[in-house]
Structure 1
Amino acid sequence: MGLPSRGAAAAGLGPESAVVRPGPPVVVPNPIPTLPPEGAAPGSSRVPGMVLKAFFPTCCASADSGLLLGRWVPEQSSAVVLAVAHFPFVPIQVRMLLARVQQAGRVGLAVLGTWCHHRQEPEESLGHFLEGLGAIFSHEPWLQLCRGRDGWSWSCKATRRQTPPSAATVGEDQIMLILYDQRKVLLSRLHPPAVLPDRQAGDAPASAGGLAAVFDTVARSEALFRSDRFDGGPVRLSHWQSEGVEASILVELAKWASGPVCLLLASLLSLISAASACRKANVLVSVLLDVTLGLLLLSWLHRQDRIGQLADALIPVADHVAEELQHLLQWLMGAPAGLKMNRALDQVLGRFFLYHIHLWISYIHLMSPFIERILWHVGLLACLGLTVALSVLSDTLALLTFHIYCFYVYGARLYRLKTHGLSALWRLFRGKKWNVLRQRVDSCSYDLDQLFVGTLLFTVLLFLLPTTALYYLVFTLLRLLVVTVQGLIHLLVDLINSLPLYSLGLRLCRPYRLAAGVKFRVLEREPGRPLRLLMQINPLPYSRVVNTYRLPSCGCHPQHSWGSLCRRLFFGELIYPWRQRGDKQD
């Protein structure tokens, strides 16, 4: 049945209840309207046109003839086509469908025009019929898109029926047809601000505001894509799901594996893929990877009695370290590198540190029967994750090198005491003193006895400083070596906890899911035919993926710059480079 006439509508068969089917054969015009010349008279019968941008999904390029459903963006002069409604259909059902989608997705959808594919329909069968649909679904402007039988020739026309009274004909607008992959645009996330690469030959620039409107329109129209399954709904549509729904990348990777463990991982990964935000998925993937690596480490430790081997090797290693420290102290108590040290102070410091090493060796041998059991229970913590095992390893290293930490603290305190004393006595020679209440240096007059005592103390401290500084330097280097190893462990823990693995995997396997912008490639630019462009998504760079989706870390972080660290070491201040955020230094 063709389009109902005015008489049929008057008899009760209106457009709201009529089933619309293709009508009698009429030739469809295929010109591209041009703008009137600049010197055209104001009372001309031709209404001046404008350039409109029509975003058309590539998945609908082979769809049957029907209606163009989408959204009109007036501020961008753009029409975003979302689906094609095929013949036959009831107009009131189309309006009900658009109203339901608008209520669910809060995006205003309308019938933008008609779509004609001459491969399914004869070219001379849709003329007045397609033009008459504009009276049922009134929209300004009314689009008419046609694709030729060869698949390469396209016809685009936009007409406006609401014209000034002086105009005798309907105005036509020029159309810039932009093809886009609806599936990629729907699944991608446009990261503002859109960073577009340098344009190449054949590419066209893009507007950030227009891109945001296009991406937002497609993303909020999921209710339209779920409204039917192409055969069961009252209105048969063509959109991106004609090519199938894309599964999660994690699920697809799991399908490549086999076995019960992989099936369990696939079920867990399907739960991860259901997360709406990439940050939640990154947290779940990070925890899953952490626990998996911890279980592998636990399996390796309990295989072939490796914990017993580690316990047996720990005592000889501790004895070797203590023996090397004893050799180092004996070298310092002599003439290290030919330096002339203060003999008395050198012997006192050397024997003091040797006694501490003796106490440490006795403590290690006292704990040797329980080391294997302790390591066994500590190894069980690996089931909580690799980061837990690494944190326990860092604490164990701190306990095993506790004597080195004590040597460093003793040397730093003694060195700092002498540097503070020398600085205070140096102010005495210059007639200055430190005002504790006002926290500043003030002028002060000293008598002769005070200057004499100050000179003696300054001389003693100055000649004792090289011996103290040498012990402080040696033990500081040992302390920095231990801190460096602990810092590497903390960096590894922080990397595991904060690295956005899910987003990086998404960027590697599905780069269009994280979009930094788009670029346009010219498909056809010939006189007499509409300009056709292909919109392609530029993926987000890996560095920006890491910076954008990096998880917040709760670990320890360096509190000092290199300059501040060197200054604190020079003045003998204690350093704790890997403290918790917000902690204060002593």
Structure 2
Amino acid sequence: MRVSAKSSLNIYRAMEKITKNSVLIRTTEAKKQMIRSFPFIRLLVLDFALSIYLWYKWKPDWDYTVDIFWKQTGHVADNLNGTITWLRSNPAGLKLNTPVNDTLAWFFTYHIYLWTTFIGFLRSDAFFRFITYSLIGGVSTFSSIVYDFSQIFFLHFNCFDAYATKLCYLCYYTLTVLWSLVRGKKWNPLRERMDTVILDTRQQFLATSLFVILLFILPTIFVYFVVFRSLRLAVSALQTVIYFFATWPFQLFALEKYFKEKYGKQKTSEGNDAASTE
């Protein structure tokens, strides 16, 4: 009984997290709350009209669309593998640490393989038909589903950036600690200040050796951090555009309301001033 209750709680937490992160669910709930507003209804009608126009312009060919998508997916995986191969060949004359470079390259290559295997489970015509038929709900609904799918499709970029960021931060933090230790200082967390510490010869040698090793490893890790952070920013820019189309009725509604309140108050204040002068 306890196991079932615990599993139910985990399922509830997972569904709650999905609900908070899913743009489709959030936009659908927001539409339900704002459907009573006539200006927002006009925007929804325009949203449906744009979806109908897009449907007749697109006229999706299922086989062609699915084939193009999986070709592009293969190109993404090939380009990532090519990027890692490029990093292993000391790009731009950088003398990267060979053992660390090979280890990181193997690690990220294996994760690319895991990502392609995971995406392979989504290789279904029904899945793509569901995305395309979401145009019935409007351009915003279609863009919301595309955005949620992009969260899964670009998951490896987020993971790569997280791995490289954590590793780079860990290396940098360890270097700062070792640099203080080499100079005979250490951080006292109780008093929140730097205290003096006396090291013997072996401790000084060990701290200096670790500092030098990490100092020569840091450029290699930093190169991976810069590359994967750049890829993450490019993906974020693309997702920002998709998110705009997913939420454009709400943004236009808020913008229209803002201008009405701003210029409406100015007009009323000008009218009151004119009446007072008369």
| Both structures adopt the same fold (TM-score exceeding 0.5) | yes
Residue equivalent to 2:13 = none
CA-atom RMSD in angstroms: 3.5
Q: How far does residue 478 in structure 1 lie from its aligned partner after superposition?
A: 0.2
CA distances 1:110-150 after superposition (whole Å, capped 9, x unpaired): xxxxxxxxxxxxxxxxxxxxxxxxxxxxxxxxxxxxxxxxx
CA distances 1:245-279 after superposition (whole Å, capped 9, x unpaired): xxxxxxxxxxxxxxxxxxxxxxxxxxxxxxxxxxx
Residue identity opposite 2:236 in structure 1? V
Q: How far does residue 467 in structure 1 lie from its aligned partner after superposition?
A: 0.6
8 Å contact kept, 1:298–1:379: no
Pick aligned residue for 1:286 from 27, 32, 40: 40
- Quick check: 1:455 aligned with 2:181? no
Pick aligned residue for 1:311 from 57, 61, 66: 66
Cα distance change, pair 457–504 in 1 and its aligned pair in 2 (3 A):
closer
Equivalent-residue separation in structure 2 for 1:394 and 1:419 (angstroms)? 34
Structure 1 residue matching 2:187: 3-state secondary structure: strand
Equivalent-residue separation in structure 2 for 1:503 and 1:445 (angstroms)? 63
8 Å contact kept, 2:55–2:135: no
Higher relative contact order (CA 8 A, sep 6+): 2
Q: How far does residue 306 in structure 1 lie from its aligned partner after superposition?
A: 4.5
Q: How far does residue 291 in structure 1 lie from its aligned partner after superposition?
A: 5.2
| Number of residue pairs the alignment of both structures matches | 240
What percentage of residue pairs aligned between the two structures are identical? 29
Cα distance change, pair 367–387 in 1 and its aligned pair in 2 (3 A):
closer
Residue equivalent to 1:356 = 111
Structure 2 residue matching 1:367: 3-state secondary structure: coil
- Quick check: 1:373 aligned with 2:126? yes
Equivalent-residue separation in structure 2 for 1:392 and 1:281 (angstroms)? 20
Q: How far does residue 435 in structure 1 lie from its aligned partner after superposition?
A: 3.0
Residue equivalent to 2:176 = 423
Residue identity opposite 1:447 in structure 2? L
Of the structure 1 ranges 474-483 and 302-311, higher mean CA displacement relative to structure 2 is found in: 302-311
8 Å contact kept, 1:381–1:388: yes
Residue equivalent to 1:480 = 233
Q: How far does residue 323 in structure 1 lie from its aligned partner after superposition?
A: 1.1
Q: How far does residue 447 in structure 1 lie from its aligned partner after superposition?
A: 2.0
Structure 1 residue matching 2:193: 3-state secondary structure: strand
Higher strand share: 1
- Give unpaired runs (5+ residues) of structure 2: 1-33
Residue equivalent to 1:50 = none
TM-score with structure 1 length normalisation? 0.37
Equivalent-residue separation in structure 1 for 2:153 and 2:86 (angstroms)? 23
Equivalent-residue separation in structure 2 for 1:514 and 1:493 (angstroms)? 34
Residue identity opposite 1:408 in structure 2? D
Equivalent-residue separation in structure 2 for 1:493 and 1:487 (angstroms)? 10
Residue identity opposite 2:79 in structure 1? E
1:376-387 alignment, distance < 5 Å: 376-387=129-140
CA distances 1:34-86 after superposition (whole Å, capped 9, x unpaired): xxxxxxxxxxxxxxxxxxxxxxxxxxxxxxxxxxxxxxxxxxxxxxxxxxxxx
Of the structure 1 ranges 458-467 and 317-326, higher mean CA displacement relative to structure 2 is found in: 317-326
Pick aligned residue for 2:95 from 340, 343, 346: 340
1:513-532 alignment, distance < 5 Å: 515-518=268-271
Cα distance change, pair 496–430 in 1 and its aligned pair in 2 (3 A):
farther
1:239-258 alignment, distance < 5 Å: none
8 Å contact kept, 2:62–2:129: yes
Equivalent-residue separation in structure 1 for 2:240 and 2:251 (angstroms)? 16
- Quick check: 1:468 aligned with 2:224? no
Cα distance change, pair 414–298 in 1 and its aligned pair in 2 (3 A):
farther
Structure 1 residue matching 2:158: 3-state secondary structure: helix
CA distances 1:184-215 after superposition (whole Å, capped 9, x unpaired): xxxxxxxxxxxxxxxxxxxxxxxxxxxxxxxx
8 Å contact kept, 1:291–1:386: no
Equivalent-residue separation in structure 2 for 1:385 and 1:321 (angstroms)? 29
Residue identity opposite 1:284 in structure 2? F
Q: How far does residue 316 in structure 1 lie from its aligned partner after superposition?
A: 0.6
8 Å contact kept, 2:182–2:204: yes
Residue equivalent to 2:51 = 297
TM-score with structure 2 length normalisation? 0.72
Cα distance change, pair 515–424 in 1 and its aligned pair in 2 (3 A):
same
CA distances 1:398-442 after superposition (whole Å, capped 9, x unpaired): 21111222211111111111001001111212332223345x233
Structure 1 residue matching 2:186: 3-state secondary structure: strand
Residue equivalent to 1:407 = 160
Q: How far does residue 389 in structure 1 lie from its aligned partner after superposition?
A: 2.6
Equivalent-residue separation in structure 2 for 1:281 and 1:393 (angstroms)? 23
Residue identity opposite 1:289 in structure 2? L
Structure 2 residue matching 1:499: 3-state secondary structure: helix
8 Å contact kept, 2:139–2:245: no
Equivalent-residue separation in structure 1 for 2:245 and 2:238 (angstroms)? 11
Residue identity opposite 1:393 in structure 2? V
Residue equivalent to 1:446 = 198
Equivalent-residue separation in structure 2 for 1:479 and 1:456 (angstroms)? 34
Q: How far does residue 504 in structure 1 lie from its aligned partner after superposition?
A: 8.6
8 Å contact kept, 2:134–2:142: yes
* Larger radius of gyration between Structure 1 and Structure 2: 1
- Give unpaired runs (5+ residues) of structure 1: 1-279, 521-533, 536-586
Q: How far does residue 357 in structure 1 lie from its aligned partner after superposition?
A: 1.8
Residue identity opposite 2:66 in structure 1? A
Residue equivalent to 1:91 = none
Structure 1 residue matching 2:211: 3-state secondary structure: helix
8 Å contact kept, 2:160–2:228: yes
Residue equivalent to 1:256 = none
Cα distance change, pair 406–283 in 1 and its aligned pair in 2 (3 A):
same
Structure 2 residue matching 1:517: 3-state secondary structure: helix
8 Å contact kept, 2:188–2:195: no
8 Å contact kept, 2:140–2:248: no
